[in-house]
Structure 1
Amino acid sequence: MEQTVKKVFVGNYSELPERLGKTVILQDKEIAIFKLASGDVRAIENRCPHRGGVLAEGMVSGEHVFCPLHDWKINITDGLVQAPDEGCVQTFEVVKEEEQVFVLVPNEVTQS
């Protein structure tokens, strides 16, 4: 079995707000896109594992976002929640080509 991915355009690099989230709906997934102070762009599932807070509305610090509901700290790179809280969110690979930013979204698992 092989999992395929779909490359989906989410915006121009210069139009992404720095250290603020942007919500994008891709297929049946709601994804938060973040342009970090370093210039890197990251994409994660847009729901906190605690109570479903919208992570794109959270405060970004370094490579973490703080859930706006209960201040859970979530790593934007690997999706892990910082202890003592537990949980994780799905992360998505981001590709930048010239000025365009794409997110790689897994399709259904296919047989090869």
Structure 2
Amino acid sequence: MLTFEINDAQLEHRILEKAHAIGKSAQELLKDILTKAIQEEVALEKLPFDVPKLDYRNHSSIYNPELSEEESLLADDASVTPFAHVSDTVEFANQLRKTAWQRKS
């Protein structure tokens, strides 16, 4: 719950008059005003134009690279296991991060 302090007597009087005129309490009126202002602010954060959603089925393709005969044999060979030398994946990832941006002199 928030509490507002209004130090301007004229503003306070106008809020109370308006609340009384529409049959609401000052708290309800202020809540409505703030809710509307926040909704307008959120609406302004959106783009002023519509971006159509594309159907991925019409705008995608299947990646099927042409493999050489040697690559094809390696791809089908069950004994080929990439990253077989990695025993600790956390340490391996840490080493990759450390060496990824080091400049080679």
Query: Same fold by TM (over 0.5)?
Result: no
Q: Please classify the TM superposition score into its range, dividing by the shorter chain length.
A: under 0.3
Q: Which has the larger radius of gyration?
A: 2
Greater RCO (Cα-Cα under 8 Å, separation 6 or more)? 1
Task: Name the TM-score, length of structure 1 as normaliser.
Answer: 0.16
* Greater percentage in strand: 1
